Amino acid sequence: MGVVILDGTTVRSFIEDEIEFNKTVDSRFNSLDLNSDGVLSRSELRNAFESFRLLESHFGISVVTPPQELTQLYDSIFEGFDEDHSGTVDLEEFRSEIKKIMLAIADGLGESPIQMVIEDDDQSFLKKAADLEASKIAQAM
Ligand SMILES: [Ca+2]
């Protein structure tokens, strides 16, 4: 467990590092695509939301949210991802929606850094953003 300091700039530079960002998002996509058909179904994406602390904090999902409301919430999130309304989410849609969410988080954070407590095995995108910045600082020294 550790503590990272995050602000909007950290998150933004992660998004702007297209190679790193796509690599992270693509590998998440592949691990979510349980039946390896190249797209995410509604239930595959729902599994994803349950494992993304990022989305939980962004969409205000909490453990006390009643199941019915949760289903509605997941449905509306799914519609957000499924831009062409094909009923599945492809890699391009996934990348673009994650980017939008991360940008919204960056805007929300702005210039005021927040401390985030993270587990060592944390797979969240925010942890990734913090790691990337740390490695760049290390390289510059
Ligand atoms: Ca699939």
CATH of the domain at 50: 1.10.238.10
Counting the structural domains of the chain, the total is 1
Q: What is the 66 CA–ligand 1 centroid distance (Å)?
A: 27
Domain that holds residue 129: 2-140
Q: What is the 40 CA–ligand 1 centroid distance (Å)?
A: 4
Q: Hey, what amino acid is at 4? A: V
Q: What is the 34 CA–ligand 1 centroid distance (Å)?
A: 6
Pick the more confident residue, 12 or 129. Answer: 12
Q: What is the 56 CA–ligand 1 centroid distance (Å)?
A: 22
Tokens of 123: 């797979």
Q: What is the 29 CA–ligand 1 centroid distance (Å)?
A: 9
Spatial CA neighbour of 57 closest among 110, 6, 101: 101
Give the model's pLDDT for residue 58. 54
Give the model's pLDDT for residue 110. 86
Segment 57-102, tens digit of pLDDT: 555 555 566 778 778 888 888 999 999 999 999 999 999 999 998 8
Strand partners, 114: 6
Integer CA distances (angstroms), 73 to 45, 49, 85, 111, in order = 12, 10, 17, 29
Q: What is the 27 CA–ligand 1 centroid distance (Å)?
A: 14
Q: Phi and psi for 24 in degrees, rounded to 5?
A: -65, -45
Tokens of 19: 């190679």
Q: What is the 74 CA–ligand 1 centroid distance (Å)?
A: 17
Q: Is-contact 62 74, C-beta < 8 A? A: no
Give the model's pLDDT for residue 73. 80
Q: What is the 30 CA–ligand 1 centroid distance (Å)?
A: 9
Instruction: State yes or no: pLDDT of 54 exceeds 60.
Output: no
Give the model's pLDDT for residue 90. 97
Flag the least confident range among 13-22, 25-34, 79-88, 129-138: 129-138
Pick the more confident residue, 52 or 124. Answer: 124
Spatial CA neighbour of 61 closest among 77, 39, 37: 77
Q: What is the 112 CA–ligand 1 centroid distance (Å)?
A: 38
